[in-house]
Chain A
Amino acid sequence: MSGADLWSLAPLIVPALAGTLVMLLGGFNANRRLHHGLAVGALAAALLCVGMAYGTAPRTVTPLLIIDSYALFFLTLIYAATGLLAMFARPYLAVREKDTDAFYALLLFAATGMGVLACSNHFAALFLGLEILTVSLYTLIGYLREDSRSLEAAAKYLVLAALSSSFLLFGIALVYAATGTLLLNPAFRAIADLAPQFGQQAEAAWALAGGIFLFVGFAFKLALVPFHMWSPDVYQGAPAPVTALIATGSKGAVLAVLLRAVGPVGLGEIGGAAGITVLAVLTMFGGNLLALLQDDLKRLLAYSSVAHLGYVMVALLAGGVAGAQAMTFYVLAYVLTTLGAFGVVTILSSESPCEADSLAAYRGIGWRRPWLAATLAVMILSLAGIPPTAGFLAKVAVLGAAIEAGRLGLAIAMALASGVAIYFYLRVIVVMYMQEEEDATEASSLPSSFANAVALLVLVALVIAIGLHPTPWFEAVRVAVATILPA
């Protein structure tokens, strides 16, 4: 490894070092502002390093990691998301927990893990990145030690994430046995070559079994139906900023590596298209139908992100350059939107130690807290895919990719599933705006922290800007995808 390699790795090294620093500082200094500032600053610095790494991209650092503009695109998204939720976390933790050094340290390590995932070119890096992320999440989910729901969620996540990791490992082992390589793309290409020989050659059976185990492992992490059981409980129990991390960064990172591994080969080639189509349809309808029954905003958003991952699977199934672009664009829109929604939940939860997650807590906030409510409303409209928001264009891109690939049935299924979803998204808006008389006496309309107000404003502006003028964003996505899937 050379010095230049280290420079390319700077986007991964910075958060890791900062995490260690925060941990060490925590031993001497209980200044919460300092930990917070370090974490946010480190992520900003990491973003700067991402910008610099564009100069040397693409660069393969050891066989394991590749720093190309695809990886850098996702690194930007992941670090920005993590940085924003670190900002949201400060007032939230202030009313709940005195020790915050471990929180920020683990957040930075989780960011590193996600970064490794986004850059990984090799099963070893994939597994290590995933484990760093998951192990950090175990503690982050259970961070509110006094809250039994938080601990329950952590325990559930621990068991299921460990299970899914073992699936993943077993899958990796089988794939290695069959193909003799641990590099992502060659391995999947080899699976694609072996798949048609199923029944004639032992390796084909292993490769196929390995592929299935791998996909089950991914499906657990992404919470696709029927592997979604953990997600509502964990979303509800985890502290709101951590829920945001699970919903945005961790999903984004896993999707990044999934697309890098599968995209250039195509799901259809690997021979799993039929099964994954069923899974995608189940996920879209399952997530949306179950969300209809929820009275808790965090659970509702959990099921809604289950459904959104189903839409992402539609893009993955569509395949090709258009599918990969649609998928990446969808992830971008989904991450920004979900972050905004959980940002509002976090800010409302940081006014008292009790979590603002039941829908009843949002009754009438449209008139009491117009700015926060308007933010949440924009995010909900974006999740529902209504113009002029990013979510709308993302949905158009995915539907378009599916139709272009000739998968009209899948596109219609997606349209109908999003039709079901309208109902529960509207319920949130109904609760906020339509269920209580205006109460103008409470005039504290802005969030308590100025930085958070700015952060939310930026997210709203981005979501609407992407909805109105998507061309630069499409271009960024095109450039990113071109490095893994040359047109």
Chain B
Amino acid sequence: MSPQILTALIAVPLTGGGLAVILGRRSDDAARWVSLLAALLTVALAATLWFGFQETLPAAQGPVLEQRISWIPRYGIEFHLALDGLNLLFVILTACLGTVAVLISWREVTRAVGAHYLCIMATVAGIMGVFLAYDLFLFYFFWELMLVPMYFLIGVWGHERRIAAAIKFMIFTMVSGLLLLVAILTLYYAHGAATGNYTMDYTRLLGTQIGLSTARWIFLGFVAAFAVKLPLFPLHTWLPDAHTEAPTAGSILLAGLLLKTGGYGLIRFAVPLFPDAAASLATPLAVLGVIGIIYGAILAYSQRDLKRMVAYSSVSHMGFVMLAVAVWQITALQGAVMQMLAHGVATGAMFAIAGMIQERLHTRDFSELGGLWSKVPKLSAFALLFVLASVGLPGFGNFVGEFLILLGSFPVTPMLVAGGVLGIVLGTIAMLALMQRTFYGPSRNAAVIADLSPREVLALGILAVAAVVLGLLPQPFLRAAEPSLAGIISQSIPFNPADPEVGLDVLRTAAENTADFSLQPPSDPTGAEIAPASRVPVAESAVGLTGTNPGVTTESSPGSAHAIPASARAGNEETGS
């Protein structure tokens, strides 16, 4: 398959957005159709990738498709896009939610339609770039680039307090982004000074040897940016405002995609680049994640605004991703990926429903809602479906995600898992309260409103099918992500297991000691078929890069632990000592 398809994934939405502005000067409908066309084309491209790589994905730990063009040679920066199982899933999610966002704002937006679609499509393009970039500078470039159209989306087409929300969003993300930039540059120069090879290439920067205290600061720079996006507990305050004030399409993109860039960044960049630092900071991060789960659920319950409630439930759900990243163990990471996909679908749909209610009743306040079931049964049925998906009812993707995360984390940190379960219960109460306050009970609004139009049924239908498929048939997705995650894990073993500071870390050591136990659930027949040979080059390259001792080479196999559990255990005992 031609690698240009990766560039096309970014270029198609961008071109569509540009055309939408130009055609939008003539007619609003032209802007809508051209954006829809571009979005569908993006979906088609993503689908081509998905079906085209069905065979190769489970066997490949590294990228299956790569494109690299020299961009700024002075700093060793390349336009380097690469596709592996992990980001392929996010690419598909991005393409689908982009289409939904276009459909959902079809009638909602009447002002400056062309510019609105440009902002949607530019955000989608930026997010695509974030997911595909394999060059740290390019990643940062897209990371900042996606914020600008999102800022306009919130600020221009948002609700009442949109300006404050837009500025808050931008300041949180930009300031943390600048810290990320400083961290990237520090890593770049540290690597360059050590090896003489000044490069921003992700694969080459992996395995840079940095002193633990320095690495910890750089790691915190990365975490600052990703935790704001995720959002991690004390850094989440921008999120309810931004989600609430954004127009429906903006909320969908924010909740469905932008938050995922944070989780993706943690898994792809932050931990693998600084395994030692990540290991030494895993405990506080996991605790913050669990605090987020519980805190988000409690605050969600106490909200009076429909969108705010969904927004806080996002804080709660994304806390699970942080927990999984802190545990850094393949089952939990598989769960994190599932959780992000499923949350993107379900929460995106919840925001779409909130937008439809707002469009019809011009309110999101629970005191003016209630009893909608009798008025708009189709809308209410969809809402029930997505509420159940959100609370993690078996049969939906959220259940798979949360279950895997808890399963993977339990052997490592049972206390925190208990906290997470408590959070799920509280979250369920909150979401059921949402259902109760909005759709059941007496009607507090006399307005006669229309039920879903075919276009809205289509948009919600796509998401409903996605939610159910993720729940009932998670295997293809898990299988696609597994080798990439295994590869990432094998590259992120602490380089210096003898270092007491790392070795003593409770979370970390426990995770490795229990690796083979917790690996059982996701391993499936195909997993066994993965030839160990396919992994050897990666392990070797990791050794070649880092110059680790042979003890670590065997230790780097917990990623493929079920193939050779004995040697893995031997390696882990070494670590523990």
A388-B145, A392-B144 known; A433-B181 Cβ under 8 A: no
- From A386, A423, A430, B144 is in contact (CB under 8 Å) with A386
A400-B189, A423-B171 known; A438-B181 Cβ under 8 A: no
Task: Select from chain B the residue with minimum beta-carbon distance to A475.
Answer: B74
- From B73, B167, B185, A426 is in contact (CB under 8 Å) with B167
Q: Do residues B185 and A411 form an inter-chain contact, with CB atoms below 8 A?
A: yes
B180-224 residues at the A interface, CB under 8 angstroms: 181-182, 185-186, 188-189
4 new A-B pairs (CB below 8 Å) besides A400-B75, A438-B111?
A386-B145, A400-B185, A422-B170, A474-B74
Q: Do residues B182 and A388 form an inter-chain contact, with CB atoms below 8 A?
A: no
Q: What count of chain B residues pass the 8 Å CB interface test?
A: 33
Q: Which of chain A's residues have a CB closer than 8 A to the CB of B147?
A: 386
Question: CB-defined interface of A426-437 with B at 8 Å, one 1/0 digit per residue?
Answer: 110110011101
Q: Do residues A403 and B72 form an inter-chain contact, with CB atoms below 8 A?
A: no
Q: Which of A51-59, A97-105, A412-420 contacts B (4 or more CB under 8 A)?
A: A412-420
A361-420 residues at the B interface, CB under 8 angstroms: 367, 381, 384, 386-388, 392, 396, 399-400, 403-404, 408, 411-412, 415-416, 418-419
CB distance from A370 to the nearest CB of B (A): 9
Q: Do residues A419 and B175 form an inter-chain contact, with CB atoms below 8 A?
A: yes
The distance in angstroms between the C-alpha atoms of A21 and B310, with both chains bound, is: 71
The distance in angstroms between the C-alpha atoms of A427 and B145, with both chains bound, is: 19
CB distance from B161 to the nearest CB of A (A): 12
- From A384, A388, A437, A471, B72 is in contact (CB under 8 Å) with A471
- From A386, A403, A433, A475, B185 is in contact (CB under 8 Å) with A403
B132-187 residues at the A interface, CB under 8 angstroms: 137, 141, 144-145, 147-148, 151-152, 155-156, 162-163, 166-167, 170-171, 174-175, 178-179, 181-182, 185-186
Question: CB-defined interface of A458-487 with B at 8 Å, one 1/0 digit per residue?
Answer: 000000000000110011001000000000
Task: Select from chain B the residue with minimum beta-carbon distance to A471.
Answer: B72
Q: Do residues A399 and B182 form an inter-chain contact, with CB atoms below 8 A?
A: yes
CB distance from B169 to the nearest CB of A (A): 10
CB distance from B190 to the nearest CB of A (A): 9
Q: Do residues A419 and B112 form an inter-chain contact, with CB atoms below 8 A?
A: no
The distance in angstroms between the C-alpha atoms of A231 and B155, with both chains bound, is: 32
Q: Do residues A419 and B178 form an inter-chain contact, with CB atoms below 8 A?
A: yes
What 5 pairs between A and B have smallest CB-CB spacing? A419-B175, A415-B178, A434-B155, A474-B74, A422-B174
- From A396, A403, A471, B186 is in contact (CB under 8 Å) with A403
Chain A to chain B contacts (Cβ below 8 Å), 22 pairs: A386-B145, A386-B147, A387-B145, A388-B141, A388-B145, A392-B144, A396-B137, A396-B185, A403-B185, A404-B189, A408-B182, A408-B186, A411-B182, A415-B175, A419-B171, A426-B151, A427-B167, A433-B155, A433-B156, A434-B162, A471-B71, A471-B74
The distance in angstroms between the C-alpha atoms of A470 and B72, with both chains bound, is: 7
Q: Which of chain A's residues have a CB closer than 8 A to the CB of B170?
A: 422, 426
Q: Do residues B186 and A474 form an inter-chain contact, with CB atoms below 8 A?
A: no
A181-231 residues at the B interface, CB under 8 angstroms: none
Q: What count of chain A residues pass the 8 Å CB interface test?
A: 35
- From B74, B151, B182, A403 is in contact (CB under 8 Å) with B182
Q: Which of chain A's residues have a CB closer than 8 A to the CB of B111?
A: 437-438
Q: Do residues A471 and B73 form an inter-chain contact, with CB atoms below 8 A?
A: yes
Q: Which of chain B's residues have a CB closer than 8 A to the CB of A433?
A: 152, 155-156
- From B137, B166, B182, A434 is in contact (CB under 8 Å) with B166
Q: Do residues A434 and B156 form an inter-chain contact, with CB atoms below 8 A?
A: yes
CB distance from B201 to the nearest CB of A (A): 16
A399-B182, A430-B155 known; A386-B148 Cβ under 8 A: yes
Q: Which of chain A's residues have a CB closer than 8 A to the CB of B179?
A: 412, 415
Tally of contacts, chain A with chain B, CB under 8 A: 89
Interface centre among A408, A415, A419 (most CB of B within 10 A): A415
The distance in angstroms between the C-alpha atoms of A381 and B174, with both chains bound, is: 12
- From B141, B182, B186, A387 is in contact (CB under 8 Å) with B141
Q: Which of chain A's residues have a CB closer than 8 A to the CB of B181?
A: 396, 399, 415
Q: Which of chain A's residues have a CB closer than 8 A to the CB of B152?
A: 433
Task: Select from chain A the residue with minimum beta-carbon distance to B190.
Answer: A403
- From B112, B163, B174, A438 is in contact (CB under 8 Å) with B112
Q: Which of chain B's residues have a CB closer than 8 A to the CB of A471?
A: 71-74
B40-87 residues at the A interface, CB under 8 angstroms: 71-75
CB distance from A466 to the nearest CB of B (A): 11
Q: Do residues B73 and A412 form an inter-chain contact, with CB atoms below 8 A?
A: no
- From A367, A381, A430, A474, B112 is in contact (CB under 8 Å) with A367
CB distance from B114 to the nearest CB of A (A): 10
Q: Do residues A419 and B174 form an inter-chain contact, with CB atoms below 8 A?
A: yes
CB distance from A378 to the nearest CB of B (A): 11
CB distance from B548 to the nearest CB of A (A): 27
CB distance from A374 to the nearest CB of B (A): 10
CB distance from A225 to the nearest CB of B (A): 21
Q: Do residues B185 and A430 form an inter-chain contact, with CB atoms below 8 A?
A: no
Task: Select from chain B the residue with minimum beta-carbon distance to A412.
Answer: B182
CB distance from B134 to the nearest CB of A (A): 17
The distance in angstroms between the C-alpha atoms of A433 and B186, with both chains bound, is: 37
CB distance from B15 to the nearest CB of A (A): 16
The distance in angstroms between the C-alpha atoms of A429 and B119, with both chains bound, is: 15
CB distance from A447 to the nearest CB of B (A): 19
Q: Which of chain B's residues have a CB closer than 8 A to the CB of A470?
A: 72, 74
CB distance from A433 to the nearest CB of B (A): 6
The distance in angstroms between the C-alpha atoms of A434 and B112, with both chains bound, is: 12
The distance in angstroms between the C-alpha atoms of A475 and B73, with both chains bound, is: 10
Task: Select from chain B the residue with minimum beta-carbon distance to A384.
Answer: B174
The distance in angstroms between the C-alpha atoms of A384 and B72, with both chains bound, is: 21
Interface centre among B111, B144, B145, B178 (most CB of A within 10 A): B178
The distance in angstroms between the C-alpha atoms of A423 and B173, with both chains bound, is: 12
Q: Which of chain A's residues have a CB closer than 8 A to the CB of B174?
A: 384, 386, 419, 422
The distance in angstroms between the C-alpha atoms of A426 and B173, with both chains bound, is: 13
The distance in angstroms between the C-alpha atoms of A422 and B147, with both chains bound, is: 12
The distance in angstroms between the C-alpha atoms of A372 and B175, with both chains bound, is: 28
The distance in angstroms between the C-alpha atoms of A273 and B517, with both chains bound, is: 58
The distance in angstroms between the C-alpha atoms of A475 and B111, with both chains bound, is: 44
Q: Which of chain B's residues have a CB closer than 8 A to the CB of A411?
A: 182, 185-186
A419-B171, A422-B170, A422-B175 known; A430-B72 Cβ under 8 A: no
Q: Which of chain A's residues have a CB closer than 8 A to the CB of B74?
A: 470-471, 474-475, 478
Interface centre among A384, A388, A422, A435 (most CB of B within 10 A): A422
Task: Select from chain B the residue with minimum beta-carbon distance to A430.
Answer: B163
Q: Which of chain B's residues have a CB closer than 8 A to the CB of A430?
A: 155, 163, 166-167
Q: Do residues A416 and B178 form an inter-chain contact, with CB atoms below 8 A?
A: yes
The distance in angstroms between the C-alpha atoms of A411 and B178, with both chains bound, is: 10
CB distance from A258 to the nearest CB of B (A): 24
CB distance from B418 to the nearest CB of A (A): 38
Q: Which of chain A's residues have a CB closer than 8 A to the CB of B112?
A: 367, 438
The distance in angstroms between the C-alpha atoms of A176 and B148, with both chains bound, is: 52
- From B75, B167, B178, B189, A423 is in contact (CB under 8 Å) with B167
The distance in angstroms between the C-alpha atoms of A412 and B162, with both chains bound, is: 30
Q: Which of chain B's residues have a CB closer than 8 A to the CB of A418?
A: 178
Q: Which of chain A's residues have a CB closer than 8 A to the CB of B186?
A: 403, 408, 411
CB distance from A350 to the nearest CB of B (A): 26
Q: Which of chain B's residues have a CB closer than 8 A to the CB of A381?
A: 148
Q: Which of chain B's residues have a CB closer than 8 A to the CB of A415?
A: 175, 178-179, 181-182
CB distance from A176 to the nearest CB of B (A): 39
Q: Which of chain A's residues have a CB closer than 8 A to the CB of B166?
A: 426, 430, 434
Task: Select from chain B the residue with minimum beta-carbon distance to A329.
Answer: B74
CB distance from B215 to the nearest CB of A (A): 13
Question: CB-defined interface of B103-142 with A at 8 Å, one 1/0 digit per residue?
Answer: 0000000011000000000000000000000000100010
